[in-house]
Amino acid sequence: MQEKYLKLKGLLAEAFDLDRATAVLGWDQQTYMPPKGAVDRGEQLATLSSLSHKISTSPEIGELLEDLVPWAQTLDQDSIEACLIRRIKRDYDKQIRVPSEFVAEFARVTTIGQEAWVKARTDSNFASFQPHLEKIIAMRRDYSDFFKPFDHIYDPQLDDFEPGLKTTEVQAIFDALRPQQIELLQAIAARPQVRDDFLHLNYPDKQQWDFGVEVVTRFGYDWEAGRQDRTAHPFSTTFSINDVRITTRVLEDLVTSSMFSTMHESGHAMYEQGVDPSLARTIIQDGASMAVHESQSRMWENLVGRSRPFWKFFYHRLQEYFPTQLGNVDMETFYKAVNKVTPSLIRVESDEATYNMHIMLRMELEIAMMEGSLQVKDLPGAWNERMRKYLGITPPNDRQGVLQDVHWSGGMIGYFPTYALGNLVSAQLWEVINKDLPDLEAQIERGEFSALLGWLRMNVHRHGAKYEPQVLVERITGSKIDPQPYVKYLRRKYSDIYGL
């Protein structure tokens, strides 16, 4: 049986290597590829994906699983073998339910859809994107149908990004969260605003870059197993446990953009650098889910990077990088500025207090479209109505409203919730960490992060994708994903900043 296990592992390691090669080609495309290279790169990426898919859905895998699944059930359920076979079985069963013609057709539809979205967004004209989104939603409904019976048509969508998570669970979480966030936002809106004008002076590129590097080096990002490059949109990408890269974009008129995105991406990257090497070249050499991944990036960006202890240590360094811009701004003023709450039209520019509202809005609309209770043609109206209800503002056009995100045009339905869930998980973990490391705040004030990173390595990172997200969160915190720690965290933080 051991031999069959190694056979299965070896076959899928090839698919894994192809996927990592795809990641390298994708990274190169975003960082260094010359402009004319795009078309052929597309062919190369398509070939690698199709070969990987062919391997991981081959009948040979199915035959090996027939013997290995019962065997794995006799093992320690926390063993790598049991966890890996469970995950392979899960992915295999999902993949073979989806006909390859559907996969090819959906790739075609979303490629065209993304082009249409780019144009529609430029023209701020939802109508031109509408037929494409209608087709995409129809195909996502077909996709869900491959997984019948389901409790909810949105379940198979969600499950692609959050293994095992159900629509009713997420709805319950967000139903508990929504009124509390709205209440907090209204309380903040009633208070005088903090100033942040000095964040928008001219901050030269090189110093911004160097400060970001200094911060994440202290965090513990391993530069021997990673690097940072420039891209239009920051991301992190994994070529192996020993090569996890981050990218950033520096805006010279906004000092906070690159700084926090570097911390954010380093959070993703340290997660992947910290996976147990015995999981290497398997599909569980990965984060547990998008939400758990986001819990790591948001923790380093917000719970650490936007905290007062962090700035007690780092602010004088930042002032040294930017003496003319920040020499006369005291730390408290700066701290409040980087935590300013403003309802904004654009999700990616929004602050910790409003971010989840953008997410809930999107998820509700996704579910309504999947259920059929909302027609695509009515989406812009529904969007604007919710923006008014949740954030009190109305998009002046589709570009700054319903057309702002790439996700739907790329066929990603069920992805948005993971951002908000990540915020919630980050605060849940933070409560446990602070119990386990009672002097964490003092450590951060001294610029020490090794105990924090060590805790995350031990409790989160090393497990890779051995466990489903709810299982992992419950193992660590004693409960499944729960919005209360995040709400408590926001209340405490903003009560202090805004004097609620």
Residues that bind a copy of itself (CB under 8 A): 13-14, 17-18, 20-21, 24-25, 28, 32-37, 39-41, 43-44, 47-48, 51, 222-227, 229, 239-243, 245, 280-281
CA 117 – CA 144 distance, rounded (Å):
23
CB nearer to a copy of itself: pick between 39 and 232: 39
Residues in contact with 345: Cβ distance below 8 Å, sequence separation at least 6, in sequence order: 387, 393, 395, 400, 401, 404
237, β-bridge pairs: 245
Pairing between β-strand 228-230 and β-strand 236-240 as defined by DSSP bridges: unpaired
Catalytic status, residue 265: yes
Return the closest-CA partner of residue 296 out of 478, 491, 472: 472
Minimal distance in Å, beta carbon 223 to a copy of itself? 7
CB nearer to a copy of itself: pick between 238 and 428: 238
Minimal distance in Å, beta carbon 31 to a copy of itself? 8
CB nearer to a copy of itself: pick between 306 and 457: 457
CB nearer to a copy of itself: pick between 246 and 329: 246
CB nearer to a copy of itself: pick between 40 and 332: 40
Chain position carrying tokens 């992190």: 236
In the chain the first and final C-alpha atoms are separated, in Å, by: 63
Q: DSSP string of 258-298?
A: HHHHHHHHHHHHHHHHTS-GGGTTSTTSS-S-HHHHHHHHH
Helix (H) or strand (E) segment spanning residue 303 = none
CA 295 – CA 291 distance, rounded (Å):
6
Q: Are 336 and 194 in contact (CB under 8 A)?
A: yes
Catalytic choice (162, 265, 364, 468): 265
CA 332 – CA 341 distance, rounded (Å):
16
Cα 120 off chain centre by: 25
What's phi and psi for 239, nearest 5 deg?
-100, -25
Minimal distance in Å, beta carbon 39 to a copy of itself? 7
CB nearer to a copy of itself: pick between 36 and 435: 36
Q: Which long-range contacts (CB under 8 A, 24 or more apart) does 277-280 make?
A: 277/241, 278/80, 279/80, 279/84, 279/464, 279/466, 280/240, 280/241
Q: Which two tokens stand for residue 337?
A: 């500025």
CA 426 – CA 299 distance, rounded (Å):
5
Q: Which two tokens stand for residue 338?
A: 């980087």
Total number of residues shown for the chain: 500
Minimal distance in Å, beta carbon 261 to a copy of itself? 20
CB nearer to a copy of itself: pick between 54 and 119: 54
CB crowding 473-482: b at 16 or more within 10 Å, else e: beebbeeebb
Q: Which amino acid is at 283?
A: I
**Residue 431: exposure state from Cβ atoms within 10 A (0-12, 13-18, ≥19):** middle
Minimal distance in Å, beta carbon 216 to a copy of itself? 14
Please, what sign has the CA dihedral across residues 468, 268, 235, 405? positive
Minimal distance in Å, beta carbon 239 to a copy of itself? 6
Minimal distance in Å, beta carbon 273 to a copy of itself? 9
CB nearer to a copy of itself: pick between 33 and 393: 33
Give SS3 for 243. strand
Minimal distance in Å, beta carbon 196 to a copy of itself? 36
Catalytic residues: 265
